[in-house]
Amino acid sequence: MNENKGEIKKMMIILSKGTLENVYAAFVLANGARMEGIEAELFFTFFGLESIHKKKLTHLHVATVGNPAMHIPTMLGGLPGVEALATTMMKKEMEKIDMPDVAEFLDILSASGVRMWACKLAMDMFHYKKEDLYEGVEEVITVGDFYKQSAGEGTHMLFI
């Protein structure tokens, strides 16, 4: 810590959720790190895998149930179509502020040098194969591999 004055050198971001708002949080943080000259790596586990699954990544939704900040009553949030509607509205707002969609964002991250890993345990659980995943994902690794990958001074870790 003293040698580099607490400067952040590398961000290790674990994405465990597949809701749009969480996926964007992880992507913006990873991209933002690269923009500042900080290394960034993403480790996708559990539902976070949806954001790199080729067939699923274009169909992510915002959570309308169990999300008080949406200001939609839970009963309404669960009605058919509400989640899709809220997602469409949010995507429109995101486009207005120049936010890329998930597929384009993955390309941006990949081109920016963000390294991406998939969690072996979660892959096995969901019966996903490496071929199901976005090409920018380097490898399916264990949690132990991920810790090894995180070695080095100035590494910070974030769980989303």
Binding residues for another protein, rule: CB under 8 A, are: 28, 31-32, 34-37, 98-100, 104, 108, 111-113
Taking the least distance from each CB to another protein, the nearer of 30 and 63 is 30
Q: Judged by CB, which is closer to another protein: 95, or 124?
A: 95
**Minimum CB distance to another protein, residue 34 (Å):** 8
From the CB of 9, what's the least distance to another protein, in Å? 11
Torsion of CA 146, 149, 153, 155, to 10 degrees: -50
How far apart CA 22 and CA 124 sit, in angstroms, is 22
**Contact status, residue 12 vs residue 155, Cβ threshold 8 Å:** yes
Of 37 and 66, the one with the shorter C-beta distance to another protein is: 37
The token pair that represents 28 in the structure block: 């913006």
Closest distance to another protein from the beta carbon of 11 (Å):
14
**Nearest approach, Cβ of residue 126 and another protein (Å):** 29
Complex with another protein: residue 25 or 82, whichever CB lies closer: 25
Instruction: Using the Cα atoms of residue 110, residue 40, residue 87 and residue 57 in order, give the sign of their dihedral.
Output: positive
Instruction: Please count the other Cβ atoms lying within 10 Å of the Cβ belonging to residue 42.
Output: 27
